[in-house]
Amino acid sequence: MAKIGMTTPIVEMDGDEMTRILWQWIKEDLLLPYIDLKTEYYDLGLPNRDATDDGVTAEAANANKKYGVGVKCATITPNAQRVEEYGLKQMWKSPNGTIRRILDGTVFRAPILAKGITPYIPGWKQPIVLARHAYGDVYSGVETRTDAGDKAYLLVEDGQGNVKKKLLVQDFAKGGGIVQSVHNLDKSIQSFARSCFNYALDVKMPLWFATKDTISKTYDHRFKDIFAEIYAAEYKDRFEKAGIEYMYTLIDDAVARVVRSEGGILWACKNYDGDVMSDMVATAYGSLGLMTSVLVSPDGKYEFEAAHGTVTRHYYKYRNGEETSTNSVATIFAWTGALAKRGELDGNAALVDFAKKLERATVRTIEEGEMTGDLVSLFRSEGVAAKKLESRAFLRAVARRLEETM
Smallest gap from residue 401 Cβ to ligand NAP (A): 20
Stretch of residues binding Mg ion (CB under 5 A), selected from 45-53, 191-199, 208-216, 270-278: 270-278
Q: Taking CB under 5 A as the rule, does residue 272 contact Mg ion?
A: no
Q: Find the part of the chain contacting Mg ion (CB under 5 A) among 57-65, 118-126, 132-140, 269-277.
A: 269-277
Max intra-chain CA distance, the chain: 81
Interface with ligand NAP, residue 288, by CB under 6 A: yes
- How do strand 69-72 and strand 302-306 relate by DSSP bridges? parallel
Q: Which stretch binds Mg ion (CB under 5 A): 220-228, 255-263, 267-275, 374-382?
A: 267-275
Distance CA(283)–CA(111), nearest Å, equals 10
Q: Judged by CB, which is closer to ligand NAP: 69, or 378? A: 378
Which of 275, 344, 367, 390 is in the footprint of Mg ion by CB under 5 A? 275
Instruction: Tell me how far apart the alpha carbons of residues 99 and 341 are, in angstroms, rounded to a whole number.
Output: 19
Look at residue 74 and give the partner it binds from Mg ion, ligand NAP, none, a contact being a CB closer than 5 to 8 Å depending on partner kind. ligand NAP
Measured distance CA(297)–CA(299) in Å, rounded: 5
**What is d(CA 339, CA 299) in angstroms, rounded to the nearest whole number?**
19
> Is the CB of 127 or the CB of 289 nearer to ligand NAP?
289
Which residues inside 345-384 make contact with ligand NAP, applying CB under 6 A?
372, 374
Q: Which stretch binds ligand NAP (CB under 6 A): 4-12, 74-82, 85-93, 122-130?
A: 74-82
Task: Pick one of 27, 312, 381, 396: the residue that binds ligand NAP (CB under 6 A).
Answer: 312
Site for ligand NAP in 199-218 (CB under 6 A): none
**How many residues contact ligand NAP, by CB under 6 A?**
18
Q: Does 77 bind ligand NAP (CB under 6 A)?
A: yes
Partner touching 275 among Mg ion, ligand NAP, none, CB below 5 to 8 Å by kind: Mg ion
User: What dihedral angle (degrees, nearest 10) is formed by the CA atoms of 199, 200, 201, 203?
Assistant: 80
CA distances from 82 to 47, 85, 95, 197, 252 (A): 11, 5, 14, 39, 40
Task: Give the list of residues 6+ apart from residue 11 with CB closer than 8 angstroms, or none.
Answer: 39, 40, 42, 60, 63, 64, 67, 69, 70, 71, 303
Residue type (1 letter), 121: I
Question: Shortest approach of Mg ion to residue 96 CB, angstroms?
Answer: 13
Half-sphere exposure of 366 (CA within 13 A, CB side): 28
Which among 142, 61, 56 is positioned nearest to 101, based on CA atoms? 61
- Judged by CB under 6 A, which of 64, 98, 184, 310 binds ligand NAP? 310
Q: Is 346 in the site for Mg ion (CB under 5 A)?
A: no
Partner in contact with 326, chosen from ligand NAP, Mg ion, none, beta carbon below 5 to 8 Å by kind: ligand NAP
| Residue from the set 70, 289, 298, 343 that interacts with ligand NAP by CB under 6 A | 289
Residue, CB closest to Mg ion = 275
Find the binding residues for ligand NAP in span 313-342 (CB under 6 A): 313, 326-327
Restricted to residues 97-116, the positions that interact with ligand NAP (CB under 6 A) are none
Q: What is each CA distance from 390 to 25, 206, 318, 374, in whole angstroms?
A: 13, 38, 11, 11
Binding site for ligand NAP (CB under 6 A): 74-77, 96, 288-289, 305, 308-313, 326-327, 372, 374
Residues that bind Mg ion (CB under 5 A): 275
